[in-house]
Structure 1
Amino acid sequence: MATILKKQKNNKTSYQAIIRKGRYRNKPITRTFALKKDAEVWAREQEHLIDMKRHQDPRLAEMVTLEQALNKYFRTIESPGPNFNEPTTVERKRTCAIILKRYLGRDISLAEITPRVMSEFRDRRLRDDKRSGSTVRQELSLISHLFTIAMQEWELPVSNPIERLARPRPAAGRILALTDLQARVIITESRKARNALFPAYLLVLMHTGMRASEAAGLRKRDVNLNNQTIIIKKTKSKTPRTVSLTDAATAALRNIDTDNFFFLKDKDLSRSNIMNRPAQIFRESWEATKRRAIAVNPSIPADLTLHDIRHSAATYLIEQEVPLRTVADILGHKTIQMTMRYTHPSMEHKAEMMQRIEGYGVDIQKEVSEERKALRELLAEAIKIIGSNGLDEELNKVIREISTYSTV
């Protein structure tokens, strides 16, 4: 039974309801009301909920709507901070939440969200809305995590509707990497951008393989131009890494005269969307540069993105025979498997590498014998010419020695 305490403060009377029941026996829950009747009603409701949770009453799931569950999820589970997901991840999940509430209904109860309901949602998104498998997987993943939290932490009597649901296959990874010529054209055209900092930014991307927002949010205190190194503290993998700078990238950064950031301006620092995704400041410059570059070299893909520059840098390093483990460290990948997804060697490079297997399984002695036969015939002809022209006897001697060697 709840306890109702009458309190007096500043000539005002209030009533505090105290509940010590179940898991709240040692750490009671309390709430204060102006009227004793309201305190008693609230106390009865809370005790009833505690009993329902204890006995896993299925009616409890009927009392919680999707909107209420999502609000609590983002308030307690996805709050941005050092121990939670990055703001960009939370932003993406909030977008998924908007879609879920729009299609399922914000007032639908958790008890009504069944595998059948979610399979219809999946099919509608794939078939009618033409969304990619990766997008739908993210939306289903949010519902799955929401129900897992509801079961494990909120003690709601629900089951995960995604657990036995067939998820769509993720979209195939992009197989796109710029050739050296295409990269040169893009760098050249970037110099015509309205943003004077864009050419340096693009060069740093190409010469470091940094993520677009890692480079755009680069702080001066994290760059040592004398040692030509960058310390990237805020990474996707949450593990800081050090990247070396080329001479060209170092020179480009050295010419930038700013205070705290290389590319961000003071007005950008107060905008949360820019600070979460700094690369947005170069969106217009990138699109304009890409249009000009395609006009010069139509082979440049129209759907090229700034992230593809990172893929291109990784591919170029691999083609220069940089060890895969080293490339993984440069890119900040925890596994080599991820690095392999980033590298797309050109057909010309693969054809060149395949020439190294030319002698594999071939009768080498037969090939050598044919070459020596051709060499003997050539030397024999040379000796005839030398003899008829009366060249130096010493030269004749050398030619005959070579001819003798070729018969071995």
Structure 2
Amino acid sequence: MAFFEQRKNGWRAQIRRKGMPSISRTFDLLADAQVWAREVERELQRGNAAVLRDDAGKTTLAQVAERYAVTVLPGKRAHSGKTYLQAAASRFGPLFLSAIRAVDVAAWRDELLAEGLSAQSVIHHLNALSGLFSFAEKELSITLPVGNPVRGIRKPAKPRGRDRRLTAGELDYLLRAARAARARIGGLPQVITLAVESSMRLGELLGLEWSRVDLARRTAHLVDTKNGESRTVALSSAAVAALQSLPLRIDGRVFGWAASDSFEKTWTRCKASARKLYEADCTAQGVKPDPAFLADLRFHDLRHEATSRLFEKGLGVMEVASMTGHKSLSMLKRYTHIEAEKLAQKLG
């Protein structure tokens, strides 16, 4: 039976059951105390006596994060969720699980948005925190009296998927700029070509090893992928030619960039050089440069371009999915933007 008592520091709720230890907690609002009491009594009716141990009131989020990092993270990609997990632990680490409320999580969400983080990044942060609570429930058998607090809040609206494709001449100028920088940065033209020809992500490209590339069969096996599953990508003739033009490295890797961050600087410089080449040609031809040319292009947009080209070549959904690694049509659709003019030609 639940008993409620108003005290100076809030409303105290106490659950008493014959033959069982009593459990109590204090809340600012009576409504919160009543919700907690109902949840505890519901668990007791289900035969979950562990709820009376109040593990959620004795375990901090930092302790859960520490266990999670040891048992779960090693099976994930190094960058997958690690940053978001650390941010969640930094914000709520000292607090007991039972002390973290939905209103606290909502306040953190608003703080992240105010700091300028994108909606998608904030969603990743919230998912990481939610994952810790789920881990505590399922793996550590810790009963959360009011459930996972992250599930009760509104998440930011996801941004619309980018539909940026290469416009006429952009790829040519990128490759010209990349070849001009070849003396200083080996492999830049090849990584751009492979991105457009294979639809591989930047991290997958930079993680390529020669031991997993079969030029005779025209395949590249990817082990470390975003969705955690390995896949084998078919290589076009252009992709094979790009790989054949690369020198073999002593460490066995195809490309020398250590991480995506270091490559992004190279990519930014390449775009700037390509833009200068374009403007110089426009001046020589007496044409006004298009301000949108290469302006908002991201390296990941080359994956959009590659995926759309695969469909335009007539490949089926499953064939494209085997190349891109997408698990569902809805996910694949975000990256597929087939030009209407080319569709009209197919219609006759």
Does TM-score exceed 0.5, indicating one fold? yes
How many residue pairs get matched?
284
Deviation at residue 235 of structure 1 after TM alignment? 2.9
Equivalent residue number for residue 284 of structure 1: 265
Aligned with residue 98 of structure 2, among 111, 115, 121: 111
Per-residue deviation, 1:281? 4.7
Q: From 249, 254, 277, give the equivalent of 1:263.
A: 254
Contact 1:256 1:262 in 2 (8 A): no
- The answer to whether the 8 A contact 1:58-1:157 is kept is no
Is the counterpart of residue 209 in structure 1 residue 199 in structure 2? yes
Map 1:355-366 → 2, pairs under 5 A = none
Deviations 1:341-399 (A, max 9, x none): 11223xxx3145347768xxxxxxxxxxxxxxxxxxxxxxxxxxxxxxxxxxxxxxxxx
- 2: CA distance between counterparts of 1:55 and 1:339? 44
Once the two structures are TM-superposed, the CA of residue 99 in structure 1 deviates from its matched residue by: 2.8
Q: Which has the higher helix share?
A: 1
Native 8 Å contact 1:177 1:309 kept in 2: yes
Q: What displacement does 1:264 show?
A: 4.1
Determine the structure 2 residue equivalent to 1:183. Answer: 171
Query: Normalising by the residue count of structure 2, what TM-score does the alignment of the two structures yield?
Result: 0.72
Query: Cα distance 1:73–1:224, how it changes in 2: closer, same or farther (>3 A)?
Result: closer
Cα distance between partner residues in 1 of 2:82 and 2:228: 21
Q: Structure 1 residues 241, 66: closer, same or farther in 2, change over 3 A? A: closer
CA distance in 2, matches of 1:227, 1:155: 49
What percent identity do the matched residue pairs reach?
Answer: 27
> Residues 340 and 112 of structure 1: is their aligned pair in 2 closer, same or farther, counting only changes over 3 Å?
same
CA separation of 1:217 and 1:153: change in aligned 2, threshold 3 A = closer
Distance 1:231 1:207 in 2: 15
Q: Which amino acid aligns with 1:129?
A: E
Answer 1 or 2: higher relative contact order, Cα 8 Å, separation at least 6. Answer: 2
Tell me, what secondary structure is at the counterpart of 2:221? Answer: strand
CA apart distance, 1:262:
4.6
1:243 maps to what in 2?
A: 233
Name the amino acid aligned to 2:222: I
Aligned residues of 2:50 and 2:143 also touching (Cα < 8 A) = no
Q: Where does 1:191-340 land on structure 2 (aligned, <5 Å)?
A: 191-193=179-181, 194-258=184-248, 259=250, 261-265=252-256, 274=258, 278-297=259-278, 298-340=291-333
Q: Distance in 2 between matches of 1:155 and 1:227?
A: 49
Match of 2:135 among 130, 136, 149: 149
Distance 1:144 1:262, change over 3 A: closer
Q: CA deviation at 1:58?
A: 6.1
The letter of the residue matching 1:162 is V
Of the three residues 59, 65, 71, the one matched with 1:64 is 59
CA gap 1:195/1:356 in 2 versus in 1, 3 angstroms: closer
Would you say 1:73 and 2:72 are equivalent positions? no
Q: Secondary structure at the match of 2:334?
A: helix
Contact 1:187/1:199 (CA < 8 Å) preserved in 2? yes
Q: Distance in 2 between matches of 1:262 and 1:304?
A: 27
Task: Say which is worse superposed, 210-219 or 301-310, in terms of deviation.
Answer: 301-310
Are residues 235 and 124 of structure 1, via their aligned partners in 2, closer, same or farther at CA, if it must alter by over 3 Å? closer
Q: CA distance change for structure 1 residues 94 and 321 in 2, over 3 Å: closer, same or farther?
A: closer
Deviations 1:78-129 (A, max 9, x none): 2x1xxx222121xxx332233334444x322212101121122223323x22
| Residue 321 to residue 103, structure 1, CA distance change in 2 (3 Å) | same
State the 1:195 CA deviation: 0.7
- 1:135 is displaced (CA, Å) by 1.7
CA contact (8 A) 1:178 1:300 kept: no
Letter of the 1:218 counterpart: L
Shift of 1:186: 0.9
How many angstroms apart in 1 are the aligned matches of 2:346 and 2:214?
41
Deviations 1:193-248 (A, max 9, x none): 22122112221222111111222222212222233322333333444433332333
Would you say 1:133 and 2:154 are equivalent positions?
Answer: no
Secondary structure of the 2:232 match is strand
- 8 Å CA contact 1:222–1:232 kept in 2: the answer is yes
For residue 77 of structure 2, what is the amino acid of its counterpart? E
Q: Please tell me whether the aligned partners of residues 65 and 89 of structure 2 are also in contact (alpha carbons under 8 angstroms).
A: no
Structure 1: runs of 5 or more not aligned:
1-52, 269-273, 359-408
Of residues 174-183 and 242-251 in structure 1, the stretch that sits farther from structure 2 once superposed is 242-251
Amino acid at match of 1:285: T
Partners of 1:177 and 1:132 lie apart in 2 by: 22
CA distance in 2, matches of 1:293, 1:245: 26
Alpha carbons 1:122, 1:136 under 8 Å: kept:
yes
> Is 1:342 equivalent to 2:332 in the alignment?
no
Structure 2 equivalent of residue 368 of structure 1 = none
Shift of 1:61: 2.4
| Superposition map of 1:12-91 within 5 A | 55-57=50-52, 59-78=54-73, 80=74, 84-89=75-80
One-letter code aligned to 2:173 = V
Q: Helix, strand or coil for the counterpart of 1:88?
A: coil
Q: What is the alpha-carbon distance in structure 2 between the residues aligned to residue 352 and residue 334 of structure 1?
A: 26
Gaps of 5+ in 2: 1-47, 279-290
**1:288: Cα distance to partner?**
0.9
Q: Shift in Å at residue 176 of structure 1?
A: 0.9
Question: Any conservation in 1 of the 2:177–2:277 contact (CA below 8 Å)?
Answer: no
* Residue 154 of structure 2 corresponds to residue 166 of structure 1: yes
